[in-house]
C-alpha cells in the first residue's frame, strides 16, 4: 500500500477536491494530495462529520447498527460550499471538485449554486464542479487517477473534461447481506425487504451512467451473490496492471477476503494491486452491515446503454 500511495504524491498543478463519499482508506486520504470535504451523518440523533474513521472504527459503527442504532445522512450545505470555495478563490489555485453523484445526493446541486456565486465574486478564478456519477469507492479510483493525470500536466479545465469521460470506465458491483437498511431509508418497500430475508435473496447491484443504483440480478444465498460479482468482473474488466482495483465492505471482511482471493485466481490477475477499505458511515448508513463491493476500471459503460437511454443522455447534455 505504501508504494502505491507514494506514486500518487505530486506537486499541485491545480487543486483537486473530493468528498468522503469516495470512501478513501485513511492511508490514501493522508497521502493523495487532495482536499476532502466531510459529509454529515446522524447516529442516534447526534450529528457527526465523516472523518474517514478518525473518531470511530468501522466495527464500532456497524456494531451500533446491528444493535439497533438509527443512522441517517444529510447533504453538504450551500453555506459550507460557499465558505470552502471562497477560501479556494482567495488562495487562487484553479480548482476541480469531483462531487458525489447527484443521483443519490443534493450536494452536487448545492455545490453548483455555490460555485456560481463564487465565480461571480471572483471572475478570474477557475472553478469546475464535476458530478462524478459514482457511488462509494468508485470515487476513490477516479480521484487517484485524477491526481496522476494532474501530475502528467492536465490543467484544471482539462482535468474536469477528463473526469467527465473517465467516470464511464469505472465499474462497481456489490451485494448486501440484508435489504433492511435500504427499506428503512425508503429506497425499497418494507415488504420487499421482508420477503428477501425470508427467501435468502441477495441482490447484485450496480449503478447507471447517472450514478443511480440499478439492480443487476438476484441470487439465492450469499455465496452465489459473491460469485455473481466475479462474473461481472470477468465480463467487464479490461486488463491494465497499472490501475488498482478496490474491494470495500461494511464490516464484512471474510467475504471481502473471499472476493479478493477469487479475483486473484482469474488469468493474469494474481499480482494486481487491490485496495481494501471500509464503506464509510455516510453510505454505510444506507446499506447497513454486510455490504461487499468490487470496483475496477473496465469497458466504457456508455457503449452498453440502449438507444433510448442514449437519446435521454443527449437530452440531458451528457
Give me the pLDDT at residue 2, please.
33
| DSSP calls for 108-138 | HHHHHHHHHHHHHH-TT--EEEEE----TTH
Task: Kindly report, residue by residue over 29-58, the tens digit of the pLDDT.
Answer: 999 999 999 999 999 999 999 999 999 999
Here the cell at position 3 is: 508504494
Do 96 and 15 contact (CB within 8 A), yes or no? yes
Handedness of CA 31, 37, 42, 46 (dihedral sign): positive
Q: What residues pair up with 309 in beta bridges, in sequence order?
A: none
Which band of pLDDT confidence, cut at 50, 70 and 90, is reported for residue 200? Answer: confident
Helix, strand, coil in percent for the chain, rounding step 5 = 45, 20, 35
Q: Is 313 helix (H, G, I), strand (E, B) or coil?
A: helix
Q: Which of 171-175, 192-196, 220-224 has the lowest mean pLDDT?
A: 192-196
Calpha distance 249→229 (Å, rounded): 13
Q: E strands of 149-212, at which residues?
A: 170-175, 201-207
Query: What's the DSSP call for residue 243?
Result: S
Which band of pLDDT confidence, cut at 50, 70 and 90, is reported for residue 104? Answer: very high
Which band of pLDDT confidence, cut at 50, 70 and 90, is reported for residue 4? Answer: very low
Here the cell at position 188 is: 425499497
Query: Per-residue pLDDT averaged across 286-293, rounded?
Result: 94
Query: How many CB atoms within 10 Å of residue 294?
Result: 26
Q: E strands of 145-288, at which residues?
A: 170-175, 201-207, 213-220, 245-249, 274-278
Q: What is the pTM of this model?
A: 0.89
Q: Which residue has the higher pLDDT, 35 or 3?
A: 35
Give me the pLDDT at residue 301, please.
96
CATH number of 2-168: 3.40.50.10170
Residue with C-alpha cell 505504501?
Answer: 2
Give me the pLDDT at residue 226, please.
97
Calpha distance 97→118 (Å, rounded): 14
Query: Per-residue pLDDT averaged across 208-223, rounded?
Result: 91
Which band of pLDDT confidence, cut at 50, 70 and 90, is reported for residue 11? Answer: very low
Give me the pLDDT at residue 304, please.
76
Which band of pLDDT confidence, cut at 50, 70 and 90, is reported for residue 7? Answer: very low
Helices 138-151, 156-166: inter-axial angle, 10-degree rounding = 140
Q: Which of 81-95, 131-145, 146-160, 182-196 has the lowest mean pLDDT?
A: 182-196
Give me the pLDDT at residue 8, please.
41
Q: What residues pair up with 43 in beta bridges, in sequence order?
A: 46, 71
Query: Per-residue pLDDT averaged across 99-121, rounded?
Result: 97
Give me the pLDDT at residue 266, please.
97
Considering only the top CATH level, what class is 169-304?
alpha beta
Give me the pLDDT at residue 187, please.
54
Q: Which of 1-10, 195-204, 246-255 has the lowest mean pLDDT?
A: 1-10
The ranges assigned to domains in the chain are: 2-168, 169-304
Long-range contacts formed by 28-32: CB under 8 A, 24+ apart: 28/1, 28/140, 28/144, 28/275, 31/5, 31/6, 32/5, 32/8, 32/143, 32/144, 32/147
Which band of pLDDT confidence, cut at 50, 70 and 90, is reported for residue 5? Answer: very low
Supply the mean pLDDT for the chain.
90
Closest CA relative to residue 205, chosen from 299, 294, 302: 294
Give me the pLDDT at residue 180, please.
67
Q: What residues pair up with 315 in beta bridges, in sequence order?
A: none
Give me the pLDDT at residue 182, please.
61
Amino acid at each position: 500500500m505504501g508504494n502505491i500511495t507514494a506514486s500518487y504524491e505530486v506537486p499541485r498543478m491545480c487543486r483537486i477536491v473530493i468528498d468522503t463519499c469516495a470512501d478513501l482508506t485513511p492511508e490514501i486520504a493522508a497521502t493523495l494530495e487532495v482536499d476532502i470535504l466531510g459529509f454529515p451523518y446522524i447516529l442516534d440523533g447526534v450529528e457527526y462529520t465523516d472523518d474517514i474513521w478518525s473518531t470511530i472504527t468501522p466495527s464500532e459503527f456497524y456494531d451500533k447498527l446491528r444493535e439497533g442504532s438509527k443512522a441517517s445522512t444529510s447533504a453538504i450545505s450551500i453555506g459550507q460550499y460557499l465558505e470552502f470555495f471562497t477560501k479556494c478563490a482567495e488562495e487562487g489555485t484553479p480548482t476541480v471538485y469531483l462531487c458525489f453523484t447527484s443521483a443519490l445526493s443534493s450536494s452536487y446541486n448545492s455545490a453548483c449554486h455555490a460555485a456560481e456565486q463564487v465565480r461571480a465574486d471572483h471572475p478570474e478564478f477557475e472553478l469546475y464542479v464535476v458530478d462524478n456519477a459514482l457511488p462509494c469507492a468508485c470515487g476513490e479510483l477516479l480521484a487517484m487517477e485524477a491526481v496522476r493525470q494532474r501530475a502528467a500536466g492536465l490543467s484544471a479545465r482539462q482535468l474536469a473534461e477528463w473526469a467527465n469521460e473517465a467516470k464511464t470506465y469505472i465499474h462497481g458491483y456489490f451485494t448486501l447481506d440484508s435489504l433492511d437498511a435500504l427499506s428503512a431509508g425508503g429506497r425499497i418497500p418494507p415488504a420487499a425487504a421482508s420477503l428477501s430475508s425470508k427467501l435468502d435473496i441477495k441482490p447484485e447491484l450496480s449503478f447507471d451512467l447517472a450514478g443511480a443504483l440499478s439492480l443487476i440480478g438476484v441470487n439465492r444465498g450469499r455465496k452465489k451473490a459473491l460469485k455473481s460479482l466475479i462474473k461481472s468482473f470477468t465480463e467487464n474488466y479490461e486488463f491494465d496492471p497499472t490501475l488498482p482495483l478496490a474491494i470495500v465492505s461494511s464490516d464484512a471482511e471474510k467475504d471481502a477476503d473471499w472476493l479478493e482471493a477469487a479475483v486473484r485466481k482469474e488469468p493474469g490477475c494474481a499480482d494486481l494491486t487491490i485496495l481494501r477499505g471500509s464503506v464509510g458511515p455516510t453510505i454505510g448508513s444506507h446499506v447497513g452491515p454486510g455490504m461487499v463491493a468490487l470496483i475496477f476500471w473496465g469497458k466504457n459503460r456508455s457503449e452498453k446503454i440502449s438507444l433510448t437511454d442514449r437519446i435521454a443522455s443527449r437530452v440531458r447534455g451528457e
